[in-house]
Structure 1
Amino acid sequence: MLGSPLRWTRSESLNLSSSRSTVLRRPEIGFVGLGHMGGPMSARLVRAGYDVVGSDLVATARAKLRALGGRTVDDVGQIGAVADIVVLILPNSDVVEAVAGQLASGMRPGAAIVDMSSSEPTRTRRLAESLSARGIRLVDAPVSGGVRGATDGTLTIMIGGDADAVPGLSELFAQLGRPISVGPVGSGHAVKALNNLLSAAHFWLTSEAVAIGIKLGIEPEVLLSVINRSSGRSGSSEAKWPSFVIPETFDSGFEAELMLKDVKIAVGLADDVNIPSLLGRDLSGLWEDALNCLPAHADHTEIAKVLLERAALSELAATVARPEERP
């Protein structure tokens, strides 16, 4: 267990001319990325009593955090100047590196960045080395569990790096879910990519199995109820199909493009260690091909629409946008 999140620090706010009395408080938390996952995660921290300063490109996302009692800024660099721990939930390593650079210019030595995005492990390790030269620690801690897990505080948190060296980090993780240390810096992102390789395969094959079942006259709900009592069950059969595909909501909160990105990262890891990922490479191609049939920013569960359309099984096919109809 880590030490208490309470420690003696100087009380600061974004208005640096305000009172600077020394008080006992929790670490101040910065949070960059207040979208589908970052929004409910940052909300949990505010409700738990943390002082959270957030930033997001979308004004409505910033407004939601302020309504809960958090603070927001437009300039990410301001967060680096006041936060002890900055959490990132961003689309990819390109954005993470750009934001980390803005933060680092103002962060105090001893402060930490916690990248809870799905980033590339090799780039995460390089970023950690760069930040370490400035006295800033990087911990990678991607999550699994979707929007529901982010809202309920039941996320699986895959920790790469020395979280014990960051005061108060274990208590912060405890507000968000179940932390598991998996290895040195970059290991968390590697585990997340490998998990999503499996998740993408499960969802694709579950969708194929349902399509075959429909052709054989078996109702999807009946087939899934049997699978979920049998060895073929997975998160896709137990949660994704019943919650997002059958009701036709397709709103898991995780985009298909991000799933494909993680599959490609996993296949790249296989290449790095000279292990042929034959199915992984084929799966990447299948997802990329299906993604071309969906509108930009489509939820990853909408891949089922494509498979049903190809089997000519459902009116869902009529809702699949053609590439030329993309915005």
Structure 2
Amino acid sequence: MSQTSIGFIGLGTMGEPMATRLLASGHHLHVFDLNTAAVDRLVALGASVCTSALDVSNKAEIVFASLPTPNVVEKVALGPDGLIHGEKVKVFVDLSTTGPRMAKYISENLATADIIAIDSPVSGGAAGAAKGTLALMVAGPAQAVQLVQPMLQTLGKVISCGELAGLGQTMKLVNNLVSVTALAVSSEALVMGVKAGLDPQVMLEVFNAGSGRNSATVDKLPRAVLPRTFDFGFTTALSLKDTRLCLDEAEAMGVPMPVGSAVRQVLNMTNATFGPDADFTRIACLIEQWAGIEVPTRKNVND
């Protein structure tokens, strides 16, 4: 596999550490991003720079992408300078979160150019990308998935969601909805307890020893809220985007999501209050403002 030419498009918060891990595992990468500083860091590690998505697809048989929005993914895959016009690319692996309908649309269009699309959105945040402990929700033709699996395993745990395009995206959306819902309700509980006089560290200890344990009480709250760093590594805008995509898909399928809709409203208010670039753990700050109390600072338990 190390002899297969690989491309990587999108060197942002998630893309750069993933590309770095692929380089460290012995793969040579052809990279492209509008952020020249990120490109320079990868080139310093041995990657080759490309001038466009098309340039990448003219040099690499397998192209990975980690991009912020469905529209950007569509442009990179199908635009005038997109992968679809590439001379060498055979497999496109989308690590972004686009939603199942976009994944199906891209897959169908790339198929006309004999390019196989695999949707493989990831979960685990920037820390998981750096450590290689992501969960990768993979959907696509079995033979193509088998081809890229050794590369994906460099990034984390590969979980097959089926062969139909978009199933990985559906899994990612429902996973992220569960994650942000846990953050929202755990933040409410934490603020309520503090206002009643409970120690927040004691609250987390009880949550994590009992039935209240979840990804927010185990990781997000102790890592980013109690130290008041609010730097988990996932913006409010991206969380809101994923939640909207999930609810849109649920509505199209006729699945009611009243709890998810309430969480979207909380994210909307967090976005309006702290801005789209604020970390989504700022949800806790919104609850604090409403309650008129601040969770006291605690040293990061991971320090």
Q: Sort the TM-score into its range (normalised by shorter chain).
A: over 0.9
Instruction: Give the alignment partner of residue 3 of structure 2, picking from 11, 16, 26.
Output: 26
Instruction: Give the alignment partner of residue 147 of structure 1, picking from 105, 116, 126.
Output: 126
Q: Is the 8 A contact 2:266 2:283 kept in 1?
A: no
- TM superposition shift of 1:214: 0.5
Q: What residue number does 2:12 align with?
A: 35
Q: What residue number does 1:132 align with?
A: 111
- TM superposition shift of 1:94: 0.3
Q: What residue number does 2:137 align with?
A: 158
Instruction: Give the alignment partner of residue 94 of structure 1, picking from 58, 71, 74.
Output: 71
Q: Is the 8 A contact 1:207 1:304 kept in 2?
A: yes
- Counterpart of 1:162, as a letter, is P
SS in 1 for 2:154: helix
- Counterpart of 1:55, as a letter, is F
Q: Deviations over 1:177-226 (max 9, x none)?
A: 11011121100011100001111110000100000000110111110111
Q: Is the 8 A contact 1:31 1:53 kept in 2?
A: yes
- Counterpart of 1:158, as a letter, is M
Q: Which whole-Å CA distance do the structure 1 matches of 2:97 and 2:88 have between them? A: 25
1:118 aligns with 2:97: yes
Q: Is the 8 A contact 1:140 1:186 kept in 2?
A: yes
Q: Which whole-Å CA distance do the structure 2 matches of 1:248 and 1:77 have between them? A: 43
Q: Which whole-Å CA distance do the structure 2 matches of 1:72 and 1:222 have between them? A: 50
1:64 aligns with 2:41: yes
Q: What residue number does 1:172 align with?
A: 151
Instruction: Give the alignment partner of residue 84 of structure 1, picking from 48, 61, 77.
Output: 61
* CA spacing shift, 1:222–1:166, aligned 2, 3 Å: closer
**What is the TM-score of this pair, normalised by structure 2?**
0.93
Q: What residue number does 1:13 align with?
A: none
Aligned ranges for residues 285-296 of structure 1 at < 5 Å? 285-296=265-276
Aligned ranges for residues 222-261 of structure 1 at < 5 Å? 222-261=202-241
- Counterpart of 2:186, as a letter, is T
Moved more, 185-194 or 53-62: 53-62
- TM superposition shift of 1:167: 6.2
Q: Which whole-Å CA distance do the structure 2 matches of 1:201 and 1:223 have between them? A: 18
- TM superposition shift of 1:107: 3.6
Moved more, 239-248 or 67-76: 67-76
* CA spacing shift, 1:222–1:163, aligned 2, 3 Å: same
Number of residues paired by the alignment?
A: 292
Q: What residue number does 1:278 align with?
A: 258
SS in 1 for 2:161: strand
Q: Deviations over 1:35-92 (max 9, x none)?
A: 1111111001001110111111111111111121112223221101011111111011
* CA spacing shift, 1:311–1:88, aligned 2, 3 Å: same
Q: Which whole-Å CA distance do the structure 2 matches of 1:236 and 1:196 have between them? A: 12
SS in 1 for 2:159: strand
Q: Is the 8 A contact 1:26 1:168 kept in 2?
A: no
SS in 2 for 1:156: strand
Q: Is the 8 A contact 1:163 1:169 kept in 2?
A: no
Aligned ranges for residues 306-325 of structure 1 at < 5 Å? 306-314=286-294
> Percent of pairs identical after alignment?
35
Q: Is the 8 A contact 1:108 1:136 kept in 2?
A: no
SS in 1 for 2:213: coil
Structure 1 residues not aligned, in runs of 5+: 6-24, 317-327
Q: Which whole-Å CA distance do the structure 2 matches of 1:188 and 1:174 have between them? A: 16
* CA spacing shift, 1:169–1:276, aligned 2, 3 Å: same
- TM superposition shift of 1:163: 4.5
**What is the TM-score of this pair, normalised by structure 1?**
0.86
Q: Is the 8 A contact 1:112 1:166 kept in 2?
A: no
* CA spacing shift, 1:248–1:300, aligned 2, 3 Å: same
Q: What residue number does 2:32 align with?
A: 55
Q: Which whole-Å CA distance do the structure 2 matches of 1:81 and 1:87 have between them? A: 14
Larger Rg: 1
Instruction: Give the alignment partner of residue 168 of structure 2, picking from 188, 202, 213.
Output: 188
Which one has a larger percent helix, Structure 1 or Structure 2? Answer: 2
Q: Tell me which stretches of 4 or more aligned residues in structure 1 moved more than 3 Å.
A: none
- Counterpart of 1:67, as a letter, is A
- Counterpart of 1:155, as a letter, is L
Q: Which whole-Å CA distance do the structure 1 matches of 2:159 and 2:149 have between them? A: 10
SS in 2 for 1:232: coil
Q: Which whole-Å CA distance do the structure 1 matches of 2:286 and 2:145 have between them? A: 45
Q: Is the 8 A contact 2:77 2:84 kept in 1?
A: yes
